[in-house]
Amino acid sequence: MAQGLELIRQELGPDAVILSTKTRRQEGALGFMRPARIEIAAGVLDEPAGLAHEQMSERPVARSPQQIIGSRQSVTTVIEPKPALIEPEESLDSTRAYLQALGLGEEAATPLAAELSQVAPVNSRVPTRPQVAAALAQLLDCVGEPLEPTAIIFVGPTGVGKTTSLAKIAARLALVHGREAALVTVDTYRIGAVEQLRTYADILGLRLEVVRTPSDLPRALNRLAGAEFVLVDTPGRSQRDDSRLRELAEYIGGFRQKEVHLVLSATTSSRELADIVERFQALRPTHYLFSKLDEAVRCSAPFEAMLLHPLPARYVTNGQEVPDDLAVAEALPLVEALMGSENRLASRYKYE
């Protein structure tokens, strides 16, 4: 306001009076709101009548910010917020440090910090907490449950919970939504894997086929004709075992209508997660499934995965109980899980 008064007095002289003020918000990067602009309308009351009538009839013409617009008799000035005193490099570094304090790895935090540092409030090192939350929510592509009949193939490293996640989703499709589901396993390597899935199939009353080679797959699928959803369990594979990944790709190629869900544990470290996401692209995953949210100290895996390679997510799991510990993926609860894990280091960078 003081800046506006100074500009008005330069244009109209010391007798200028303010007629009205207006605050306007402006859209910023990533859909956030930047600081407000102030519009001040002012005039001079002691002008000669003829001049006043002539100039008051002129329609104000907008100019660039921080310029006077209109006639001498009635003017408007638009005041932009003063530039932040924080250097851009300092804001970027602080924002990145804040995101890393939340649990994001450097590879994921750096590009997000570059976007967020552009919308940090005046004289602040980092964006506001709502701005950070909104940016994180925009990263997540949560698409809800499948509607059209398809095969859902679960792939991922060992120990991430593929079999348990499959059983939970099969139970939900069959018992909650009343859809015809069937199970297939190609995991004949792990001891007890077939028996585990057979137990789930018996409890849920679902058909199960065990496929030992890619050439056995067509006959197995023919026997499951009529099932709307075929859920496929696969053996856990190291992301660095290229030969095993190629073998698994042969099985996946035998399905026409399919979704390939890359199952990622929320307890995975940032560096390992990046390696898994990159190397499992050989299987052309179409969706993410995030497991073990209940075991994670920092719920950062969904955000890191989406930053590294964006894919939609349908489900998350948060426990071992079948079918209870399963939820449809939603952005807001995931953001709250991450932001709720703020520690003292993160609080140092928080701007309220």
Task: Please list the residues that pair with 26 across neighbouring strands.
Answer: 34
Residue 301: the pLDDT is: 92
Helix ranges restricted to H, the chain = 2-12, 49-56, 88-102, 106-116, 129-139, 162-171, 193-204, 217-223, 242-253, 270-279, 301-308, 331-339, 344-349
pLDDT at 171: 93
Report residue 18 as tokens.
């303010």
CA-to-CA distance for 53 and 72, rounded, in angstroms? 12
Nearest to 181 by CA among 157, 197, 158, 193: 197
Mean pLDDT by 10 residues, the chain (352 residues): 75 75 57 59 59 41 41 52 55 83 87 80 73 88 93 93 93 92 86 83 92 92 94 81 84 92 93 92 95 88 92 92 87 88 43 34
What is the model's pLDDT at position 219?
94
Q: Chain centroid to CA 14: how far?
A: 53
- The model carries a pTM of 0.70
Instruction: Map residue 294 onto helix, strand or coil.
Output: helix
Residue 38 CB partners (closer than 8 Å, separation 6+)? 1, 4, 21, 22, 23, 24, 78, 79
Would you state the pLDDT for residue 57?
A: 39
pLDDT of residue 77: 58
Task: Cis check for the bond before 323: say yes or no (omega within 30 of 0).
Answer: yes
Report the alpha-carbon angle 178-179-183, nearest 5.
125
In terms of Cα–Cα distance, which of 276, 261, 272, 238 is closest to 155? 261
Q: Provide the CB-side half-sphere exposure for 14 (13 A, CA).
A: 0
What pLDDT does 79 receive?
56
Radius of gyration of the chain (CA): 29
User: What number of other Cβ atoms are within 10 A of residue 216's Cβ?
Assistant: 15
- In this structure, are residues 265 and 291 in contact, taking their beta carbons and an 8 Å threshold? yes
What residue type is assigned to position 190 of the chain?
R
Q: Spell out the residues 6+ positions from residue 10 whose beta carbon is closer than 8 angstroms to its own.
A: 68
Q: What is the pLDDT of residue 45?
A: 61
- State CA 92 to chain mean position distance: 20
pLDDT of res. 210: 92
Please provide the size of the chain in residues: 352
Please tell me the distance from the alpha carbon of residue 207 to that of residue 223, in angstroms, as a whole number.
Answer: 9
Q: What is the pLDDT of residue 126?
A: 74
Give the pLDDT of residue 156.
93
